[in-house]
Structure 1
């Protein structure tokens, strides 16, 4: 019996950009260009009273030196600390006075700084944002005070997130295998100098994208100039993303086993990435109606074994990707459930009905995410840094509609030729090893 675990945004968040960074955009015209300093800028004029500004950098965890693993997590966590212009208290007070907010997030490729403010107060808010990005000082005593926050963030991680993180480590080892989160043993070990060096090497003009949702690209250019970024940003190179396959397991106890299992997918620049995104939706993502039954491909393969949750996912990076499923299941049923999911992945084919449903669900996701201003800004920034081009939603939806059954099954067959990777967390007493599936 399928549970409602996937009805919330937890596991779905893991697959947020599962359609190969081909990010959605609203029907409004998206203006894009590249500044002389190589910064990518984009503007989406929505006539909204609220403006969203996202400044993204190629500074995700894959760019971390092996001697400084976790530095990108600390960088995200340090957003809002004292800068060369103001203390953290003054920054928070100014943002509150103008009704603005700034958040920092990231993935394996990018770090995002996102500002939300009313149009009337946008200029003042942008000045604060520019200070947060380009005038950071990383004072040692403030980093020490930030340690409890890092510990809390690690303690609050869902086991499904841990499983997906372990999956990447098993699949790629380094580069894309670098964890999104700092190791508990590394907390407090990242020095101010290390942070300053990482920021100086990666938060540079050529590695930057500025997106404004709520105004045109002229405003984005003004924001980019306000940042006063320097350097070409070629100091830090990404570790090669060679796919190895394998498994990593983290015994955590409890009554459930959480397993992420995947094959090698396709990079964002490959047409197969969109086909695999359709296939991921076709595999299933939990019940689509409240209190309804889960009739997805994964649910049928697992069968009536008790409460469980299973969802297909596809993540495509600039040079590689993963296609697979995330499973949460009672520990006693883990053996047959994991083998059933692995069997679906290795089968390398889906029915026409499942593919048709996957296409419709993917189109809905693309167009729905275009309605969220913050998601839209971050997605356009990621697309600009990945491909240098932004596709409007109609174009992307049309591309999804044109995908046929043979294209999807061909992409699945190609993925099925690769080794299986697996990450598992929870009670693993009955979780089979990867060579047993």
Structure 2
């Protein structure tokens, strides 16, 4: 027994004196993707691939800067139909085979668009990516847009218009009210344009706007070499095509509305011009100001009335549990929009419409404590989305499109912490000074809300 004990103590001594590396035993204390690699092809396609720490799900995004702001009068509503037609047949696979094969492999293929860009994203197990990537290519750059399939999608587009959430509608209308120019184009196809849409119009729109010079390919969990091979199949030409310039949009301080009938819930949005994504530091300042005002709820309950809103906007509701306020900041390549949206009952719509305009006109009065809270809220919001490979993939594609390099939430945290409170305070003050360009949009009971002159009178 003594002999065994002595042998055991010798081994313990060897183990305690041996060299060890903590990085081998423990994961790296960092957020988000790791080992991000970037490249750019001769034809202008930008590529980024991020490795993850052992995640089995992968995502790949093909993004074109071809949103609704690039729709001329002949193409109005094309981006909405592109979203609806993304499940249609391509040059290599039928719509039925896409649906069946992707479901069999636990994969998802989605298309999303806004006023700036259109994104096609494939999410699938990494094991099947080399096979399923052809379905992504077939949808993003090889879709046929047959007339008979477009005719079938017209009922789907009409259904989209009927199912638009009122808050989504008011956010779409506020941008139409604020801008004079291409940014006033809606992300939805107007009802009178649906019957005019055809496969030829969509093919012409894709031919004009889906160019390699405004294309970005981003992946999460996919090897860089595999991502590069996929990008090479988008466009085999070496020359970089030249894109026509998109006309700029100017603020017009307009008023838009949509009537839901007497006694209906009412959504009110007020907004002023903000900043674009071309200035990353300024973009973070505006995002912090929005978070400092309150962009979400501090606590989510079982239903919409069981919530605790973020102050100071949340304090405006008082004892009214049916009213909710939140700030928002939407940025595009060259400009953006900052505003406040309120949801309220018909009986309190008049008072709350005046309240949101008054708050926006005095947003420069937020104090340093609220700004510091806004920093923390923004950092938390960024961290919550970092485990979603689809959001990370689309975020990396946006970074490429705007020629910025952030890579991970950890880097975002550092950039946010480096911005001084005085700079953010100055940004909030400049937003207050922009109130001469304030726009208003209302969805709900139009009979009880004040007119635009009454709202803008402070």
TM-score (norm 2): 0.86
Note if contact 1:176-1:241 (Cα within 8 Å) is conserved in structure 2.
yes
Structure 2: tracts of 5 or more residues without a match: 1-29
What is the rounded CA distance, in whole Å, between the counterparts of 2:187 and 2:356 in structure 1? Answer: 25
> Which position in structure 2 is the counterpart of 1:297?
312
Query: Which structure would you say has the larger RCO, counting Cα contacts within 8 Å and 6 or more residues apart?
Result: 1
For 1:34, the equivalent position in structure 2 comes to 40
Out of 254, 257, 280, which is 1:249 matched to?
257
Residues 38-58 of structure 1 show CA distances to partners (whole Å, capped at 9, x for unaligned) of 111111111321110110001
Kept in 1, the 8 Å contact 2:267–2:341? The answer is: yes
Q: What do the CA deviations read for 1:279-337 (whole angstroms, capped 9, x no partner)? A: 11111134312445435111223433451111111111110011111110111211211
Q: CA deviation at 1:396?
A: 1.3
Partner of 1:314: 329
Partner of 1:267: 276
Counterpart residue number, 2:246: 238
Tell whether the 8 Å contact from 1:31 to 1:216 is kept in structure 2 after alignment.
no
Whole-angstrom CA distance in 2 between matches of 1:319 and 1:377: 22
Check 1:157–1:62 CA distance in 2 against 1; reply closer, same or farther (3 A cut). same
1:30-73 per-position Cα deviation (integer Å, ceiling 9, x unaligned): 21121111111111111321110110001111111123211011
Residues 77, 232 of structure 1: CA spacing in aligned structure 2 closer, same or farther, 3 A cutoff? farther
Alpha carbons of structure 1 residues 232 and 194: separation in structure 2 relative to 1, 3 Å: farther
Residues of 2 paired with 1:304 and 1:408: CA distance? 31
Aligned twin of 2:207: 200
Contact 1:56/1:111 (<8 A) preserved: yes
Match of 1:212 among 198, 216, 219: 219
Cα distance in 1 for residues equivalent to 2:58 and 2:327: 34
Q: Distance in 2 between matches of 1:325 and 1:229?
A: 46
Q: How many residues align?
A: 414
Pairwise mapping of residues 125-144 of structure 1 onto structure 2 (< 5 A)? 125-144=132-151
Counterpart Cα distance in 2 of 1:430 and 1:324: 22
The aligned counterpart of 2:105 is 98
1:238-297: CA deviation from partner (whole Å, max 9, x where unpaired): 231222222111112252111111111111123322111111111113431244543511
Aligned residue in 1 for 2:291: 281
Aligned partners of 1:301 and 1:341 also within 8 Å: no
Unaligned stretches of 5+ residues in structure 1: 1-23
Aligned residue among 96, 118, 123 for 1:89: 96
Deviation at 1:111, TM superposition (A): 0.4
- SS for the counterpart of 1:212 is strand
* In the alignment, structure 1 residue 175 sits paired with structure 2 residue 152: no
Q: CA RMSD in A?
A: 1.9
Residue aligning to 2:114: 107
Larger radius of gyration: 2
2:80 matched residue in structure 1:
73
Quote the residue 1:367 is aligned against.
383
User: CA–CA distance in 2 between the matches of 1:66 and 1:338?
Assistant: 34
**3-state SS, counterpart of residue 264 of structure 1:** strand
Q: Could you say which residue in structure 1 is the equivalent of 2:438? A: 420
2:429 and 2:104 map into 1 onto residues whose CA distance is: 56
Secondary structure, aligned partner of 1:29? strand
Q: Does 1:435 align with 2:445?
A: no
